[in-house]
Amino acid sequence: MSQFNEVSVVKKANVYFDGKCVSHTVIFADGTRKTLGVIFPSSLTFNVGAPEVMEITGGSCRVRLAGASEWTTYAAGQSFSVPGDSSFDIEVTEMVDYVCHYG
């Protein structure tokens, strides 16, 4: 599915890391939220509050969860889960499109 239907979308973008990450927030009928975004080629560390699932919908990246020693590569169609109150390192080699699912 290339789009979300019957949702609300917040007009203003979320911008992180000097524009290396840009997302828009989508709100579903049940009140849950997701963010749709891009990450430009870079090496970043994201701090995570609530647990989340990062679904990669385009591009490619390597990810290392907090406490892990190994990097794992993810491309379009793949996802990874991030525990709450943690972080992950990400190296984006080809601009990533993602959907971030919370909770």
Q: Which residues bind a second copy (CB under 8 A)?
A: 1-13, 15, 19, 22, 24, 26-27, 36-38, 40, 57-58, 95, 97, 99
Closest of 55, 87, 91, 58 to residue 73, by C-alpha: 91
Smallest distance, a second copy to C-beta of residue 11, A: 5
Least Cβ distance, residue 6 to a second copy (angstroms): 6
Q: Which is nearer to a second copy, 41 or 84 (CB)?
A: 41
Shortest Å, Cβ 99 to a second copy: 6
- For a second copy, the closer of residues 44 and 65 by Cβ is 44
Q: List CB contacts of 27: < 8 A, sequence separation 6 or more.
A: 7, 8, 9, 10, 33
User: What's the rounded Cα separation, in Å, for the pair 39 and 29?
Assistant: 27
| Nearer to a second copy (CB atom), residue 6 or residue 70 | 6
As measured in angstroms, the least distance from the Cβ of 84 to a second copy is: 24
Contact present, 64 and 88 (Cβ < 8 Å) = yes
Torsions phi, psi for 29 (to 5 deg): -55, -30
